[in-house]
Amino acid sequence: MALKSWLASANDPGSDFPIQNLPYGAFRYRGQTHIGIAIGDRILDLFACTANGLLAQLPEEIEYACRMETLNALMELGPDAWQQLHARATYLLDAEHASDETRQKTEAALVPMNEAEMQMPARIGDYTDFYASIDHATRVGKLFRPDNPLLPNYKYVPIGYHGRASSVVLSGTGIRRPCGQTKAGDGAPVFGPAKSLDYELEVGMFVGPGNRLGDSVAIDDAERHIFGLCLVNDWSARDMQAWEYQPLGPFLAKSFATTISPWIVPLEALAPYRIPVRKRAEGAPAPLAYLRSASEERDGIDLTVETHLETRAMREAGMEPERISRGNLRDLYWSLAQLLTHHTSNGCNLRVGDLLATGTISGPDEGSEGCLLEMRHRVNALRLATGEERTFLEDGDRVILRAYAKRPGLPRIGFGECAGLVEAAR
Ligand code: CA
């Protein structure tokens, strides 16, 4: 029988946060910032757990990390410590095991999620964005190079670029439409509000222990450096991007804002949803040796990812946001381990709290596109239930990303929301 919590809301089949999940985040409640674990409609306050003696049997460095205002100290401890804390939190919340006294102390450390204000989970030193979806790369490539959509390096090199960490913001932060240079047709470039604002549905991984400058992380060790996963919206101004991206790649079209979801789902919680990596097409090259993993059979993750859109008209009519895409992390060409290993293969050092994102997650089928740009290959613009149409985002649009893993016999594990509302340019 599946594990259940004594906290009823954690057993609600609609909850993103059953006892099998236990994602980490930082929150502010009654004037204090603590780190905690999401469970049902509550947050298990880890600072309060240390104060109540609930973590006293864990190594001192774990208790110490649980008293911090961000997850960095915990991230740095590595997978053995993460596993010990995860096991202890599971024990405290488990309906079968916890004694009355333990349960009372644990209850006293719970905070109502709707009264807490989520904070940035970590101090992010560096943010890197990859391009790991071959379906995204092919569809976008087709718009620019119809005869040669996929560049020849794609099947060998996990393509990525260095993003901007200072403008990574938490879900719920308003997204101001950026201004920049754009150039239409043969005319001269102009400076003004971007007209082609887009979202990109991505998954981010937070780096735990880093590697020393000059060292690299072997592919079979890569996941020991991944603390957990969140959702990422890599907002993109397509008209600015088209004008600026050659020859060095994206710059101001991407750096105005990147939204992350507040909860970081540990890899351990996703273990039951691990699957083989995507099978490469007939004739496609095998990865070079340094990217070849001994665990290809479980390097993929069966994680459904969705984009929902709420326009101003929907809000005013009291309508629910409309789902506009559904894809899956399993469709990526490169695994998370391959992305991390490739990043360090030249001796580049990753540091605790770094954020590495997959790039737009799209699948092969219509309806699985992870951004609006790709949907332009359809004959018609995106038509919504309100009768409105979208080619790109308009002011007042709210984009909500969601993700979940599910499998018969196991509860659904969700990522919570990664949301942002587009505000008019200044
Ligand atoms: Ca991106």
Q: What is the pLDDT of residues 320-375, one digit of tens each?
A: 999 999 999 999 999 999 999 999 999 999 999 999 999 999 999 999 999 999 98
Query: Which CATH number describes the domain made up of 127-423?
Result: 3.90.850.10
CA distance 237 to 287: 32
Query: Which two three-digit tokens encode residue 202?
Result: 């991505």
Which residues are known to be catalytic?
Answer: 136
**pLDDT of the residue at 100:** 86
Residue ranges matching CATH 3.90.850.10 in the chain: 127-423
Enter the CATH code of domain 8-119: 2.30.30.230
Question: How far does the centroid of ligand 1 lie from the alpha carbon of residue 118, in Å?
Answer: 24
CATH 2.30.30.230 segments of the chain: 8-119
Please give the distance, rounded to the nearest whole angstrom, from the Cα atom of residue 35 to the centre of ligand 1: 28
CB 405 within 8 A of CB 329: no
- Tell how far the Cα of 81 is from the centroid of ligand 1, in angstroms: 32
Token look-up 């995860």 returns 86
List the chain residues with pLDDT less than 50.
Answer: none
Q: How far apart are CA 33 and CA 47, in angstroms?
A: 9
Coil vs helix vs strand at 123: coil
**DSSP 3-state assignment of 20?**
coil
Distance 405 CA to ligand 1 centre (A): 22
User: What confidence score (pLDDT) does residue 145 get?
Assistant: 83
Residue pointed to by tokens 């072997």: 218
What angle do helix axes 100-108 and 79-93 make, rounded to 10 degrees?
110
pLDDT of residue 38: 98
Q: What is the pLDDT of residues 165-201, one digit of tens each?
A: 999 999 999 999 999 999 988 999 999 999 999 999 9
Pairing relation of β-strands 201-207 and 355-357?
antiparallel
Largest CA distance in the chain: 74
> Ligand 1: distance of its center to the CA of 413 in Å?
24
Identify any residues that bridge with 306 across adjacent strands, giving them in sequence order.
326, 402
Q: What is residue 181's predicted lDDT score, i.e. its pLDDT?
A: 98
In angstroms, rounded to a whole number, what is the distance separating the alpha carbons of residues 398 and 324? Answer: 12
pLDDT the model gives residue 381: 79
Cα of 138 vs centre of ligand 1, distance in Å, is 14
- Look at residue 306 in the predicted model and tell me its pLDDT: 98
Residue 191 CA to ligand 1 centre (angstroms) = 23
Distance CA 164, CA 127 (A): 6
| d(CA 220, ligand 1 centre) in Å | 26
**Distance from the alpha carbon of residue 18 to the mean position of ligand 1, in angstroms:** 30
Backbone φ, ψ for residue 74 (5° rounding): -70, -40
- Whole-number Å distance, alpha carbon 316 to ligand 1 midpoint, is 31
| pLDDT at position 377 | 62
> In the numeric block, which tokens belong to residue 359?
């790039």
